[in-house]
Every structure is written in C-alpha cells, then in structure tokens.
Chain A
Amino acid sequence: MNSQAVAESIATILTDNFDLDQDVTPATRFSEIELDSLIMLELSVIIERKYGIKIAEDELVEAGSVAGVVALMESRSSVDTPAD
C-alpha cells in the first residue's frame, strides 16, 4: 500500500464513517468541510489503530487535508507496512 492508497483509504473513512456535508478526497481542505469537535479525535484513534502511528487531533487539523495528514504520517513512520 502506497501513500496514495493510504490517502484514499483515510478519505473513504471520513466520507463513510461521518455524516459530513460532502465527500472527502485526499485534496479536500478540512476547512471546507463542516467538522465538529470530535471528528478529528475519532480519526486520530482510527489512524493509530489502523496504521500504528499516533497523531494528535490538533496536528490532524493543522495538517489541513488528508494529503497533509499522510505527509505527516510519512514523516513519523513508514506507511509501507500498515497493520492491514
């Protein structure tokens, strides 16, 4: 699984798991979506469980987009060996 696939997977999680006002792509800016205070907390837990990389919710917000989140994940650890 490469970075693009991880980004697609996280975007799909956001689209499928949360009742958002639009579908999310890797490039979607978080500022364009109506995110409530818990969504980034939930995403943080899901990313840690799925990829074994801990990224705090405020860091996710600052990353700005799914693509930004994946870049942050790559800087923390390799995403080439995900848990699944």
Chain B
Amino acid sequence: MIRATVLAGIGAAIPPRSVTNDELARTLDTNDTWIRTRTGIRTRHWADTGTSTGDLATAAGARALKSAGVDSVDLVILATSTGNQPMPGTAPEVATALGLGHVAAYDISAACSGFLYALSAAAGAIASGVAERVLVVGADVWSTRLDPQDRSTTIIFGDGAGAAVLRAGDADEPGALLGFDLGSDGTGHELAQVAGGGSRERGSGLPARPEGAYMTMQGKDMFTHAVNRMAASSEQLLGRVGWSAADVDWCAAHQANIRILHTVADVLGVERSRMLVHLDKVGNTSAASIPLALTDAAVSERVKPGDRVLMTAFGGGLSWASTALRWPEIDVMEISTEI
C-alpha cells in the first residue's frame, strides 16, 4: 500500500522592509491606483542588503518545523529560481542553518510552480520510503533580479519564503495530499525568464549582456496562459480527487495578480470569495506565494481544520501544478519578519 503524504506544519517569512506603490511611483511612470486596479497589489516586501534567499528559506523553515513540533527531517527540498548562487544548490545551506545535520537536500527550479512541484517530490520520497519526514520550502528574492526601470516586473514581485513539513501517514487523515496534476510547455520558456547567466548565454560565444541578469516577462501572454493552465490543471485534479468546483472551500492559487485569480475563479466556477488573496500585502512572491497565502489564511482562521483546499500554480517554464488536501489541525504562527 502506498503511504500518503500528510501536511504536518507550515510557516512563512518575509523581509521586514515594505515597499508601497507610492514609493515605486516616485521612480517609475505608474501610480497606486493603476497598480491596485491592474494587479491588486498594495505593497510588497523587499530584502535588505545582505539578506539572501537562503536566509528567508531558513526563517520560514524554522517556523514550519515549530508548527509541526519537530526538530528533524530526512530531506529538505527548496523550490527557488533565485538561489544564493548558480551552483551549488541552496538547500544544503538551509538544512545546515536549521541544524538538521547531514540530511538529503536539493533545489528544484520550477519558478512560480516550484512549491507544488516540491510537494510532489516530497510525496514521491515518502511513498518510496526514501523519507519519513520532509521539509519543503518555496523561497525567492526576486528583488535582486528586477530591472528598476522595468515597470512590468518591478511593481509585481516581492520577496518571501513559505515552508511545510510533510510526514508519512494515511490517505484518509486530514492533511493528506490527495493527488497531483503537473505539466510543462517549453515552447513558452521565453515568456518569463532571466535570459543570461546560464550555459545558453555563456556558450554563445558572445559577451554577457548586463540586462541578461534581469527577469523579463511578457505580461499579457503570461496572463492568458496562467488562467488557462491553472483552470485546466485544477479541473484535472478535481476530477482525480472526486471534488466538484462547489466542493472547494478555499483555492490557494499562485498569487500572480488579482485579475488572474478572479478569472480562474470565474472559469472554474468557484466563488471569487473562495480564492485566498494575499498578494495585496506581499505582491507576487513566486515559489513562496502559496505557502505564504496558506499561512496568512490559517493564522487569520479563514482556513479551518477540515476545509477542502485546492492549490494550483502556474509559472515560468512554462510550468503548472495542482494538488489538494483537507486542512489538518496544526498550530500556525504569524508570518515572520525576523530574518
């Protein structure tokens, strides 16, 4: 019998510095009303000098371990596209910083879908007996990769980290991950990218372009793909789990844009009020957005034990993923700003 993977704890962290729309409007041709009506974002948090993705991941991981009431795991999986450096992965540093010893630790690069991809990897490790308990972290510090002159990305992205502890358990207990739908489409890899810094650029024989270090995004194409992919992936997953759209108590969708969340709700047939919204406070935090939104919703007791929670994500790659669970009885602490 395949062992189930059960959510045992969750936690999150954001850097303390809040950057408001008005602050961005001082240097960019934009304003608070435009940003709010087009994205739903009111403020985002950016890391101060000296704070890395690993630092945020460690802070979130510590909270998740505390939430689960444990001080050891067998595996750490970090979903990030902004690791501390191109090589090695950042997960081993995070494991060490958390005092987890010589456990297995590796990074996953799946952009904004990364957290759900990492959950599926954790579920695989638990099902195969590789691990009994896994720490999954989604963390990104996109502020280090934003072109300050590029309005299309700078207003949207924030820094943050969210983490979950998963354990082996039974399929019928609350918190059990009920299935996955994962997918990708490499034909869209240029729609959201950091073009430079990899083997494609370095092997081109051409000098590196400074702007290649920045993230660029084709906003309208990403908008359309995000709605279509998250809606289709959610429908696949719901069918597999045996839930209808009306059964979904909460949808924790990747926090890209409030207009995307509303359109996903409309095409799925889920009430807009059932979509968890956290992006107004933190912007798009990429791999961290779903665990951040869930932590926020659990702390404020919107999401309660027993609630049916659908998670769905879409991001660069292109990549998409969905999973679902019934919310377990777990202690959840407020999102940390102590990094």
Interface residue ranges, A against B (CB under 8 Å): 13, 17, 36-38, 41-42, 44-46, 48-50, 57
Contacts and interface: CB of A to CB of B under 8 A. Distances in A.
A49 B267 contact: yes
Q: Which 10 A-B pairs have the closest CB atoms?
A: A49-B267, A45-B227, A42-B263, A38-B259, A45-B224, A17-B266, A41-B223, A45-B263, A41-B220, A38-B38
Nearest to A39: B259
B37 interface: yes
A38 B223 CA distance: 9
Nearest to B223: A41
A36 B33 CA distance: 12
A51 to B, nearest CB: 12
B200 to A, nearest CB: 30
Interface of B: 37-38, 220, 223-224, 227-228, 231, 259, 262-263, 266-267
Given A42-B259, A45-B228, A49-B231, A37 B38 contact: yes
A57 B220 contact: yes
B229 to A, nearest CB: 11
A26 B37 CA distance: 25
Nearest to A38: B259
B38 A41 contact: no
A36 B38 CA distance: 8
B220 A46 contact: no
A38 B228 CA distance: 15
Contacts of A49: 228, 231, 267
B93 to A, nearest CB: 40
Contact of A44 (B37, B38, B224, B259): B224
Contacts of A50: 267
Given A46-B267, A57-B220, A17 B38 contact: no
A17 to B, nearest CB: 6
A41 B38 CA distance: 12
A8 to B, nearest CB: 17
18 contacts: A13-B266, A17-B262, A36-B37, A37-B38, A38-B38, A38-B223, A38-B259, A41-B220, A41-B224, A42-B227, A42-B259, A42-B262, A44-B224, A45-B228, A45-B267, A48-B228, A49-B228, A49-B267
B70 to A, nearest CB: 43
Contacts of B224: 41, 44-45
A44 B259 CA distance: 13
A64 B37 CA distance: 23
Contacts of A57: 220
Given A13-B266, A46-B266, 20 more contacts: A17-B266, A36-B37, A37-B38, A38-B38, A38-B223, A41-B220, A41-B224, A42-B227, A42-B259, A42-B262, A42-B263, A44-B224, A45-B224, A45-B227, A45-B228, A45-B263, A45-B267, A48-B228, A49-B231, A49-B267
A69 B266 CA distance: 20
B183 to A, nearest CB: 17
Nearest to A43: B263
A45 B227 CA distance: 7
A45 B257 CA distance: 15
A16 to B, nearest CB: 9
A26 to B, nearest CB: 20
B263 A46 contact: yes
B161 to A, nearest CB: 29
B264 to A, nearest CB: 9
Contacts of A48: 228
B221 to A, nearest CB: 10
A48 B267 CA distance: 10
